[in-house]
Chains A and B, each alone.
Chain A
Amino acid sequence: MSVAVRVIPCLDVDAGRVVKGVNFTNLRDAGDPVEMAKVYDAEGADELTFLDITASSSDRETTYDVVRRTAEQVFIPLTVGGGVRSGDDVDRLLRAGADKVGVNTAAVARPELIREIAERFGSQVLVLSVDARRRVADDGTADASGTATPSGFEVTTHGGRRGTGVDAVEWARRAAELGAGEILLNSMDADGTRDGYDTEMIEAVRRHVSVPVIASGGAGRPDHFPAAVHAGADAVLAASVFHFGDLRIGEVKSALRAAGAAVR
């Protein structure tokens, strides 16, 4: 027996409401993240991730309240990311009931933030979220502009719109060294396509880090999930395919089990 591959639904939460379409007919309020979390828990999700996309800081209290209410009713681990810039932000989320906190842009701007959080709260609370894209020239070969990163994968910010010139594989390796307990690897190219995870990117990162890697971006069919695991992912995350009801957690687990992966 070995540790099970985790299947993680991700909810985008804006000012306390789930955004992106929701297609659950049995829900009293499909826009309520707490209700959604309970459904996913009942369906066998191994963890939950909330991505807080609240723009206004005055609405942040709503996020803490959502986290608090979720932690009261759901007995599986909860990760909350989005807009985390300091140790104090982490502290507030953990106190509200989050088990782990996702850090993204703020750590790209200031890598020391990773060490600060890991030293204060332990590596196990820190999920480093890496939004990465392939960096190649128009003809599909190496980037002619000379800005391609060594691995061919580049860290982006602002939802993939802005390149940083930072190599994604090297960044994941360094982040783990600084104290990140897990890498959430999100392919900005695959995100939204439903054509499958970027397995080459997963393989490249897996080769260079020993902390768990969560695959994200591109899930569309059940067989996409075992492919990510085969490439080295310890956990698989998806959002819209679950929210729209196109895939159920159970289907994904069956596909994983059929491919020989341990599941809960």
Chain B
Amino acid sequence: MTAERTAERTAEPGEAARKKTVVFDYGFGNVRSAERALLRAGADVEITRDYEAAMSADGLLVPGVGAFAACMEGLRSARGDWIIERRLAGGRPVLGICVGMQILFARGVEHGVEAEGMGEWPGTVGPLKADADHAVPHMGWNTVTPAEGSRLFEGLAPDDRYYFVHSYAVHDWELTVTNPAMPPPLVSWAEHGAPFVAAVENGPLWATQFHPEKSGDCGARLLANWVASL
């Protein structure tokens, strides 16, 4: 990130222009970090699981850490799955982060146990494989190959790095869009032993496997790009 770009990002938009975002609070994820990072990206932020607030926000951020099954269960008990469905049906933006991205897929397999996800996208979240050069969890700063035309990675360079912490990932992107009227989903990839899905932009539903809220200036730019898209 250049200083120039940083300055551009931190420029405060006028009060009236500030987008309202909600960090969905269902007990899984560092909601405080997400809140601070969105504020830094120039958005208004509320941390809540309140239905009205989550539905009416310009953007809904769904964090997530820990086990896939536990996260999904937590999301359901907070009626987060329903809120996400309703928002997407109305074309209202949702951003999933880390396990908050993983649970958007059809299923997760952890320790051989399969759990059902939201099914917004087909595909399976499976284990990363460790070898002599690749410790698991995949923990630390890695590069991402942005999809062509990505708005999420706009202004970011190919050698910019983002903070990843995960032991599971989506290795195969299975959704194929055959209807020429539908814009194809933009899938950005990273690699740790094997390529895996690092980010998705699909209509109103965007997601990242890494933690933009912990990825310093690059993460801030990325969140600013999301906020700007709202």
Total count of chain B residues near the partner, CB < 8 A: 38
Q: Does B216 contact A (CB under 8 A)?
A: yes
The interface residues of chain A lying within 8 Å CB-to-CB of B163 are: 76-77
Nearest-CB distance from A121 to chain B (Å)? Answer: 6
Q: Does A51 contact B (CB under 8 A)?
A: no
Nearest-CB distance from A74 to chain B (Å)? Answer: 9
Q: Would B166 and A76 count as touching, CB distance under 8 A?
A: no
Give B residues with C-beta under 8 Å from A.
Answer: 30, 32-33, 36-37, 40, 65-67, 130, 133-143, 159, 161, 163-167, 191-192, 211, 213-217, 219-220
The interface residues of chain A lying within 8 Å CB-to-CB of B167 are: 123-124, 181
Instruction: Knowing A75-B214, A94-B30, A124-B165 are in contact, say whether A46-B65 is a contact too (CB < 8 A).
Output: no
Q: Does A72 contact B (CB under 8 A)?
A: yes
Residue on A nearest B217 in the bound complex, by CB? A75
Task: Give the segment of A1-9, A132-140, A191-199, A243-251 that binds chain B.
Answer: A1-9
Give A residues with C-beta under 8 Å from B.
Answer: 1-6, 41, 46, 68, 71-73, 75-77, 94-95, 97, 99, 119, 121-125, 181-182, 210-213, 234-235, 264
The interface residues of chain B lying within 8 Å CB-to-CB of A125 are: 65
Nearest-CB distance from B67 to chain A (Å)? Answer: 6
Q: Would A211 and B65 count as touching, CB distance under 8 A?
A: no
Instruction: Knowing A121-B65, A121-B66 are in contact, say whether A3-B138 is a contact too (CB < 8 A).
Output: yes
- Contact with A123, one of B36, B137, B141, B213 (Cβ below 8 angstroms): B137
Q: Would A211 and B137 count as touching, CB distance under 8 A?
A: yes
The answer for the CA separation of A68 and B30 in the assembled complex, in Å, is 12
Instruction: Knowing A75-B215, A97-B32, A122-B66 are in contact, say whether A1-B142 is a contact too (CB < 8 A).
Output: yes
Q: Would A75 and B36 count as touching, CB distance under 8 A?
A: yes
Question: Which 10 pairs from chain A and chain B are nearest by CB?
Answer: A122-B66, A210-B130, A1-B143, A212-B135, A4-B141, A264-B141, A3-B140, A3-B142, A124-B165, A264-B161
Q: Would B32 and A71 count as touching, CB distance under 8 A?
A: yes
Residue on A nearest B136 in the bound complex, by CB? A210
Most chain-B CB neighbours within 10 Å: which of A4, A5, A77, A119? A77
The answer for the CA separation of A68 and B35 in the assembled complex, in Å, is 13
Q: At the interface, is chain B mostly helix, strand, loop or mixed?
A: mixed
* Sample of 15 A–B contacts (CB below 8 Å): A1-B143, A3-B141, A71-B30, A75-B36, A75-B215, A76-B215, A76-B216, A121-B65, A124-B166, A125-B65, A181-B137, A181-B165, A211-B136, A212-B135, A212-B137
Q: Would B139 and A124 count as touching, CB distance under 8 A?
A: yes
Q: Would B36 and A72 count as touching, CB distance under 8 A?
A: yes
Residue on A nearest B36 in the bound complex, by CB? A72
Q: Would B220 and A46 count as touching, CB distance under 8 A?
A: no
The interface residues of chain B lying within 8 Å CB-to-CB of A182 are: 137, 139
Residue on B nearest A263 in the bound complex, by CB? B141
Q: Would A234 and B140 count as touching, CB distance under 8 A?
A: yes
The answer for the CA separation of A1 and B140 in the assembled complex, in Å, is 13
The answer for the CA separation of A234 and B165 in the assembled complex, in Å, is 13
The interface residues of chain A lying within 8 Å CB-to-CB of B32 are: 68, 71-72, 95, 97
Residue on B nearest A125 in the bound complex, by CB? B65
The answer for the CA separation of A71 and B35 in the assembled complex, in Å, is 10
Q: Would B216 and A41 count as touching, CB distance under 8 A?
A: yes
Q: Would B65 and A122 count as touching, CB distance under 8 A?
A: yes
The answer for the CA separation of A64 and B65 in the assembled complex, in Å, is 21
Q: Would B140 and A46 count as touching, CB distance under 8 A?
A: yes
Instruction: Knowing A125-B65, A264-B161 are in contact, say whether A212-B139 is a contact too (CB < 8 A).
Output: yes
Most chain-B CB neighbours within 10 Å: which of A6, A46, A75, A95? A75
The interface residues of chain B lying within 8 Å CB-to-CB of A234 are: 135, 139-140
- Contact with B164, one of A3, A72, A99 (Cβ below 8 angstroms): A3
The answer for the CA separation of A97 and B136 in the assembled complex, in Å, is 24
